[in-house]
């Protein structure tokens, strides 16, 4: 059986002690065993990163950028290798996995611009003979704790910017799909990254807690569920670390009566059922305004749902793959049943899905569509993280907005309309971090920044883009005067310039 270990100080280590099974979601079979790091092993990785920090921080930004540029080229060349590794352990379709890699690659492309975004600022002669300059300097050892649903993209939201800024990095990926992390580490080494600058520790809560407690870890980035994000933030801050912790989501899409219904339905298909709904930016609640709009939306969706091809991710005909684990499969099925018990109408029941021949043991669930969902129901309140689309009808625009504002999460949202006034008002007034106008999954491009509001984030800075640069650096301002032969008398009041 394949053994998946850690990557520390430039080499793969097998790990010692505990391990966990890794499954192929399409078959349900165990495909590998992954080591689970102890606190001591985490300490070894942090020590390697700490030892490499000073030399890496002193490396000119242009040289750091060249290494990342070579890394970028290797990803382009080996995208299929990464995508296959994702599909075989996560379950998403091969084409979806390639799309994930591409979105992560965008952040690497942004990070290659480090010499530009690390230039700093300078003001000459702010007072007679006095100059001021501001620079951004790296923090030290940074850690990334990443989720199973994007094993390539989310780590690449973090470490390329951290490395470009002169930090070293320890990645703790999900133990459910760990292989991609070692491929990324190998590519970085091949690109010329010095040993110890990037490290990987596989593991579970023990590894997470060790990173949160280690005094040499200066910053922690996290993406996952809200309860864990809150824990990461509280624990990391209590240990005097800089923390950005992105949590859960329940994303709504408002469909106004004037919307292009075919466009809206196609958008919902991808946003609700793509990657089997295992996305923090998935649209899980459609909010049509008016019963006529709702009826038309459902009528447009039904033949598309019926035609959706569900199968193993490596089958290029598949449009939706299995869920990541048996526990995830059971959870989704239970939520559909709970929605029905609470009064929702199950228009399409994914619990009845029959797996393709030869994949009967896979963790498959079909697409589900629930109508008549209200904010009192668990299917509206909870992040299901599966292919379940709820339709929550609103009688007017204000009711639709109130429904969104009533939720504890505020990660992403969208509106579909031809009305520019309504779209502009929605974009301005909605209390959600990322907004789409006729765009169902408004994930910002890499040179902007990703992050929600409310219980979807615990941080002062969002991820990647210039927000990422600000998170992975600290500001230093120097005010300087050079002797000119003129001497000032002592001053005992607040000094002023000008």
Q: Mind listing the pLDDT tens digit for each residue in 68-114? A: 999 999 999 999 999 999 999 999 999 999 999 999 999 999 999 99
Q: Residue 92 contacts by C-beta under 8 Å, 6 or more apart in sequence?
A: 86, 100, 275, 276, 278, 313, 321
211 and 174 together in one domain: yes
Q: How far apart are alpha carbons 371 and 99 in whole angstroms?
A: 31
> Would you state the pLDDT for residue 492?
75
Q: Residue 7 contacts by C-beta under 8 Å, 6 or more apart in sequence?
A: 13, 181, 182, 185, 186, 198, 199, 200
Average pLDDT estimate for 180-196: 98
> Would you state the pLDDT for residue 490?
76
φ/ψ of residue 176, rounded to 5: -80, -30
Round the average pLDDT of the chain to a whole number and report it.
96
> Would you state the pLDDT for residue 453?
96
Tell me which of 127-131, 168-172, 323-327, 492-496 is least confident. Answer: 492-496
* Residue 325 belongs to a domain: yes
* Cβ-based neighbour number of residue 359 at 10 Å: 18
How far CA 86 is from CA of 6, 22, 59, 81, in Å, comes to: 18, 12, 33, 9
261 and 375 together in one domain: yes
Beta strands in 26-102 (DSSP E): 29-35
76 and 141 together in one domain: yes
Q: CATH number of the domain that 14 lies in?
A: 3.40.605.10
Q: How far apart are alpha carbons 448 and 466 in whole angstroms?
A: 7
Query: Could you tell me how many residues make up the chain?
Result: 498
78 and 160 together in one domain: yes
* Residue 489 belongs to a domain: no
* Residue 442 belongs to a domain: no
Residue 230's domain spans which residues? 2-247+456-478
Q: How far apart are alpha carbons 473 and 134 in whole angstroms?
A: 12
Report which of 88, 298, 318 is spatially closest to residue 183, judged by C-alpha positions: 88
pLDDT score of 21 more than 80: yes
pLDDT score of 28 more than 90: yes
pLDDT score of 497 more than 70: no
Per-residue pLDDT band for 15 (boundaries 50, 70, 90) equals confident
Q: How far apart are alpha carbons 464 and 221 in whole angstroms?
A: 11
Q: Mind listing the pLDDT tens digit for each residue in 30-69? A: 999 999 999 999 999 999 999 999 999 999 999 999 999 9
- Contact at 8 Å (CB) between 172 and 198? no
DSSP-derived pairing of the beta strands 2-4 and 409-410: unpaired
Q: CATH number of the domain that 421 lies in?
A: 3.40.309.10
Q: The dihedral of CA 368, 374, 376, 382: what is its sign?
A: positive
293 and 393 together in one domain: yes
256 and 371 together in one domain: yes
In our burial notation (b when 16+ CB lie closer than 10 A, e otherwise), range 166-198 reads bbbbbbbbbbbbbbbbbbbbebbbebebbebbb
Number of domains making up the chain = 2
* Residue 487 belongs to a domain: no
Q: Within 13 Å and on the Cβ side, how many CA atoms surround 438?
A: 13
pLDDT score of 495 more than 90: no
pLDDT score of 353 more than 70: yes
Token duo for residue 268: 């919902």
DSSP-derived pairing of the beta strands 141-145 and 345-348: unpaired
198 and 299 together in one domain: no
How far CA 201 is from CA of 148, 189, 247, in Å, comes to: 15, 16, 22
430 and 381 together in one domain: yes
Q: Mind listing the pLDDT tens digit for each residue in 284-308? A: 999 999 999 999 999 999 999 999 9
* Residue 222 belongs to a domain: yes
* Residue 120 belongs to a domain: yes
Q: How far apart are alpha carbons 88 and 324 in whole angstroms?
A: 10
> Would you state the pLDDT for residue 366?
98
Query: End-to-end distance of the chain based on CA atoms, in angstroms?
Result: 72
243 and 263 together in one domain: no
* Residue 45 belongs to a domain: yes
156 and 25 together in one domain: yes
> Would you state the pLDDT for residue 498?
58
206 and 323 together in one domain: no
Beta bridge partners of 320: 310
243 and 258 together in one domain: no
> Would you state the pLDDT for residue 493?
74
pLDDT score of 22 more than 80: yes
* Residue 315 belongs to a domain: yes
pLDDT score of 435 more than 90: yes
- Active-site residues, by number, are 280
Q: How far apart are alpha carbons 423 and 395 in whole angstroms?
A: 18
pLDDT score of 439 more than 90: yes
């Amino acid at each position: 059986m394949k053994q998946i270990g850690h990557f520390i100080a430039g080499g793969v280590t097998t790990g010692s002690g505990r391990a966990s099974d890794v499954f192929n979601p399409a078959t349900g079979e165990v495909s590998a065993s992954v080591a689970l790091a102890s606190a001591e092993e985490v300490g070894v990785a942090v020590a390697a990163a700490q030892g490499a920090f000073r030399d890496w921080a002193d490396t000119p930004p242009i040289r750091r950028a060249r290494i990342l540029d070579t890394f970028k080229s290797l990803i382009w060349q080996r995208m299929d290798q990464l995508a296959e590794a994702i599909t075989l352990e996560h379950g998403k379709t091969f084409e979806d996995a390639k799309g994930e890699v591409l979105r992560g690659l965008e952040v690497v492309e942004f990070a290659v611009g480090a010499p530009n975004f690390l230039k700093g600022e300078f003001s000459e002669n702010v007072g007679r003979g006095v100059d001021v300059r501001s620079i951004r300097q790296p923090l030290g050892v940074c850690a990334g704790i990443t989720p199973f649903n994007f094993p390539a993209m989310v780590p690449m939201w973090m470490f390329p910017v951290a490395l470009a800024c002169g930090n070293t990095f320890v990645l703790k990926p999900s133990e459910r799909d760990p292989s991609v992390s070692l491929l990324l580490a190998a590519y970085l080494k091949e690109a010329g990254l010095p040993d110890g600058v990037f490290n990987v520790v596989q593991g579970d809560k023990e590894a997470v807690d060790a990173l949160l407690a280690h005094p040499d870890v200066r910053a922690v980035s996290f993406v996952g569920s809200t309860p864990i994000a809150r824990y990461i933030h509280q624990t990391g801050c209590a240990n005097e670390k800089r923390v950005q912790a992105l949590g859960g989501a329940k994303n709504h899409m408002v469909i106004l009566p004037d919307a292009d219904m075919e466009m809206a339905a196609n958008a919902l298909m991808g946003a609700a059922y793509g990657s089997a709904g295992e996305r923090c930016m998935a649209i899980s609640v459609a909010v049509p305004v008016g019963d006529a709009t709702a009826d038309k939306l459902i009528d447009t969706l039904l033949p598309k749902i019926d035609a959706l091809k569900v199968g193993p991710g490596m089958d290029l005909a598949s449009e939706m793959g299995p869920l990541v684990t048996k526990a995830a499969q059971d959870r989704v099925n239970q939520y559909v049943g709970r929605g029905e018990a609470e009064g929702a109408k199950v228009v399409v029941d994914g619990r009845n899905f029959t797996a393709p021949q030869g994949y009967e043991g896979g963790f498959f669930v079909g697409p589900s569509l629930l109508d008549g969902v209200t904010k009192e129901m668990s299917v509206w309140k909870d992040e299901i993280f599966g292919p379940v689309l709820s339709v929550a009808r609103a009688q007017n625009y204000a009711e639709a907005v109130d429904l969104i504002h009533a939720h504890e999460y505020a990660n992403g949202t969208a509106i579909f309309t031809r009305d520019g006034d309504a779209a502009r008002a929605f974009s301005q007034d909605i209390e959600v971090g990322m907004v789409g106008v006729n765009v169902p999954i408004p994930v910002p491009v890499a040179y902007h920044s990703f992050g929600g509001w409310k219980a979807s984030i615990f941080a002062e800075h969002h991820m990647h883009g210039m927000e990422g640069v600000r998170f992975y650096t600290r500001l230093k301002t120097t005010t300087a005067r050079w002797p000119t032969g003129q001497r000032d008398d002592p001053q005992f009041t607040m000094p002023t310039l000008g």
